[in-house]
Amino acid sequence: MGTHLPSTEFDGTAVDDQREADAEAVMGEPAAQMVQLLGPDGKLGTDPVFSAYADKLTQEDLRRLYADMAAIRRFDVEATALQRQGQLALWVPLTGQEAAQIGSGRASQPQDYIFPTYREHGVALTRNVDLAELLRQFRGVSNGGWNPKDTNFHLYTLVLAAQTLHAVGYAMGIQRDQKLAAATDGAKEQPDAAVIAYFGDGASSEGDVHESMVFASSYKAPVVFFCQNNHWAISVPTNVQTRVPLSNRAKGYGFPGIRVDGNDVIAVHAVTEWALEHARQGNGPVLIEAFTYRVGAHTTADDPTKYRPSTEEDAWRAKDPLTRLEKYLRAQDLADDAFFAKVKADGDELAAYVRRTAHDLEDPDIRQAFANVYAQAHPLVAEELAWFEEYSAGFAGEEESAGQAAKAGH
């Protein structure tokens, strides 16, 4: 499949070059090849398979990919600021991973269903999730925040890799839907929708990833495993999770594995579109490893200076996904200063909206928590709620008099 050069030829960092050499020693052959179309220099290369998919992107599509990446980066800056101001308990920044997320999310179709982990703010944007709703979880007013049925974008999952199994089960449901439809009205048996399961290089070590790939392969489920290898699982580097490229694992399960330059939004879009087509056509799962980098901290509670040199971050900033697309758009006369000014203004407007909305998010009532433990009436929940109501009612007069006392200056 395609023209895939060794990762080392894509200006990898010294760390990556060493890992590549180690993997080659383990495997006895060149370890991995990586699909890249748009290099850090902003020049578009070709690929026998994926160029055809890249060519489908219109000028408007390319501009939108840039605008999306810029918007989500601006959002990330704003959310980080909100955490610093005490408006959010925690934030999980995505800066550096914009191309991996926007490229793959934009390659999905509305009928596809997406299971994120907890850093997929860029994918959420492509699925029209209200970005202010994304903040609910981090403000402590919800453990979810949006209705997945509205966008086919599932809630964030914090127990790593648990969602990869949900994705495969969902894909098994799509297969059965199609068969039921075929049995009733003679529709085609191929699935017309697919699922994407996002996870990271750290989560790749979880047993659920293994089990999900076994199930997906055995039942040829229409699912795309999208692994963002951002090089760091909090403080632990990828070579502790794996000695060979993660994309190589697919071979062991019997389905295609592709390593793509995760900072190249055009290649990510092309590869993901190909993989989703592959899945929807009934050919089974695909593993995509998007080779990217978490430029910032794991969360706002993290301190990367304790475990990695800033020179490594600098090396990856040189491969920035936005910069290279900007170079390309300008060189091809697809966007001008006015376009980039508009993108910046739109980003600031989004940030203002998010800031305003975050402040306005009301604290929930614990009665909502009582209401949602079970779908059907439950005597213990009802009993405890009744107790809570009675108990709370006992404070009603007290709060009033406390308020009056405060007013009276006591």
Partner 1 sequence: MTTMTIAKAINEGLRATLAANPKSLLMGEDIGPLGGVYRVTDGLIGEFGPDRVVDTPLAESGIIGTAIGLALRGYSPVCEIQFDGFVFPGFNQITTQLAKMHARSHGNLTVPVVIRIPYGGGIGSVEHHSESPEALFAHTAGLRIITPSNPHDAYWMIQQAVECQDPVIIFEPKRRYWLKGEVDVQAPGPSEDPFKAHVLREGTDATVVAYGPLVPVALAAANAAAEDGRSVEVIDLRSISPIDFDTVTASVQKTGRLIVAHEAPTFGGIGGEIAARISERAFHSLEAPVIRVGGFHMPYPVAKVEEDYLPDIDRITEALDRALSY
Interface residues with partner 1 (CB under 8 A) are 113, 142-144, 147-149, 154-155, 157, 159, 162, 164-177, 179-180, 207-208, 211-212, 214-215, 218, 368-369, 371-376, 378-381
Shortest separation between residue 211's beta carbon and partner 1, angstroms: 4
Q: Give me Rg for the CA atoms of the chain.
A: 24
CB closer to partner 1 out of 218 and 404: 218
Shortest separation between residue 250's beta carbon and partner 1, angstroms: 17
Q: How far is CA 241 from CA 164, 233, 236, 326, 400, in A?
A: 17, 9, 8, 34, 58
Q: Exposed/middle/buried for 368, CB within 10 Å: 0-12, 13-18, 19+?
A: exposed
Residues 239/19, Cβ–Cβ less than 8 Å: yes
- Given 119, 154, 298, 324, which residue is catalytic? 298
Shortest separation between residue 170's beta carbon and partner 1, angstroms: 4
∠ CA 74-80-83, nearest 5°, is 145
CA-based nearest residue to 35, from 196, 281, 245: 245
Coil, strand, or helix at residue 394? Answer: coil
Shortest separation between residue 202's beta carbon and partner 1, angstroms: 16
CB closer to partner 1 out of 52 and 371: 371
CB closer to partner 1 out of 145 and 257: 145
Coil, strand, or helix at residue 209? Answer: helix
Tell me, yes or no, if 166 is annotated catalytic: no
- Given 139, 294, 324, 355, which residue is catalytic? 294
Shortest separation between residue 214's beta carbon and partner 1, angstroms: 5
Helix and strand numbers, DSSP H then E, in the chain: 18, 9
Tell me, yes or no, if 294 is annotated catalytic: yes
CB closer to partner 1 out of 108 and 292: 108
Coil, strand, or helix at residue 196? Answer: strand
- Given 307, 356, 374, 378, which residue is catalytic? 307
One-letter identity of residue 359: H
Coil, strand, or helix at residue 56? Answer: coil
CB closer to partner 1 out of 176 and 359: 176
Tell me, yes or no, if 198 is annotated catalytic: no
Report the length, in residues, of the chain: 410
In whole angstroms, give the CA distance from residue 101 to residue 88: 23
Q: Which positions are annotated as active-site residues?
A: 294, 298, 307
